[in-house]
Amino acid sequence: MKPVLILGYGLLSYGLFFVTFLYSIGFVGNLWVPHSIDSTPTQPLAMALLTNLALLTLFAVQHSGMARPAFKRWLTRYIPEAAERSTYVLLSTLCLALLMYGWSPMGGTLWQMDSQWARCLMHSLYLASWGLLLYATFLINHFDLFGLRQVWAAFRRRQPAPLRFVTPTLYRIVRHPIYVGWLGIVWFTPTMTVTHALFAAGATAYILVGIKLEEKDLEDAHPEYAQYKRKVPALIPSLRRRLQKTRPVATVG
Ligand SMILES: C[S@@+](CC[C@H](N)C(=O)[O-])C[C@H]1O[C@@H](n2cnc3c(N)ncnc32)[C@H](O)[C@@H]1O
């Protein structure tokens, strides 16, 4: 595959991801977009539940399955290595878009905050969680996580330097700031409907399983990860057990 085509493919994947990412801020927060997580129910409850569970499962299997090293090895027998991450980003984006498009609101309110300031606080925490997620991607390497670094290197006919294991700022007080952001996104809402709770519970279960799989790969790739894991908590930040700044020493997949 010609390097310019790989670059175009990577840019297209990233562009689609970015538009879907912006829509999902409105979708989960019930803000600004026409079809959101708590739009008016249109299907019978059982049908809506099955649809939503199927969509959540599809996203979880794709997102976690394609991130495994064995899957990446298999995939790169058929596509250039430089396009692997962009393919992951593209398929994750398509699954997320399908999830939002096919999502079937179920109605039913579990709790609701009526006071203006409480609603405002929840919306602020919700948007701050998106900010945290985005910020944390830049701490690891935003352009690597979304495949741009790899396709740019291919375009320049260079081999991209392997991504290093890093523990900058937030990563010294919590091991998974991106997933902390996700948890905030799904749980901070002024109105918790049954639909929203299903989404939040599904996302939480996915994150907890995803962490186990991701950390196994990180431990395999980076022997010092075990020590990092002992010192830094997974999801609840601890300032007391703050990891000393260490030089990154190994690569991760
Ligand atoms: C979606 S990101 C989530 C990262 C992290 N679990 C978090 O919540 O902030 C997953 C990718 O980040 C990589 N990764 C996780 N922790 C890392 C670190 N400290 N340094 C570099 N890469 C890391 C994993 O290898 C995986 O490819």
Three-state secondary structure along 55-108?
Answer: HHHHHHHHHHHCCCHHHHHHHCCCCCHHHHHHHHHHHHHHHHHHHHHHCCCCCC
Q: Do residues 238 and 171 make contact, with C-beta atoms less than 8 angstroms apart? A: no
- What local confidence, expressed as pLDDT, does residue 207 receive? 97
| Token couple for 137 | 């991607």
Question: pLDDT of 4-18, one tens digit each?
Answer: 999 999 999 999 999
- What local confidence, expressed as pLDDT, does residue 8 receive? 98
CA of 140 to the centre of ligand 1 (A): 7
**145 class by beta-carbon count within 10 Å (0-12 exposed, 13-18 middle, 19+ buried):** middle
Give backbone dihedrals phi and psi of 158, rounded to 5 degrees, phi first: -115, 155
**Nearest ligand 1 atom to alpha carbon 218:** 25
Q: Which residues are bridge partners to 251 per DSSP?
A: 164
**Nearest ligand 1 atom to alpha carbon 248:** 20
Q: What is the mean pLDDT of the chain?
A: 93
Nearest of 217, 147, 138 to residue 170 by alpha carbon: 138
Look at ligand 1, atom 27, and give the residue with the nearest C-alpha. Answer: 253
CA of 121 to the centre of ligand 1 (A): 29
Q: State yes or no: pLDDT of 246 exceeds 70.
A: no
ipTM above 0.90, yes or no: yes
Weakest mean pLDDT among 110-114, 131-135, 157-161: 157-161
> Which of the listed residues 132, 225, 247, 252 should we mutate to test ligand 1's pocket, taking the one with most ligand atoms within 8 A of CB?
252
Q: Do residues 213 and 64 make contact, with C-beta atoms less than 8 angstroms apart? A: yes
CA dist., res. 97 & res. 24, Å (int):
8
Q: Give domain limits for the chain.
A: 3-231
Question: pLDDT of 48-86, one tens digit each?
Answer: 999 999 999 999 999 999 999 999 999 999 999 999 999
- What local confidence, expressed as pLDDT, does residue 127 receive? 98
| Token couple for 70 | 């064995």
Say what percent of the chain tops pLDDT 90: 90
225-248 average pLDDT score: 78
Q: State yes or no: pLDDT of 189 exceeds 80.
A: yes
- What local confidence, expressed as pLDDT, does residue 162 receive? 79
**pLDDT band at residue 124 under the 50/70/90 scheme:** very high
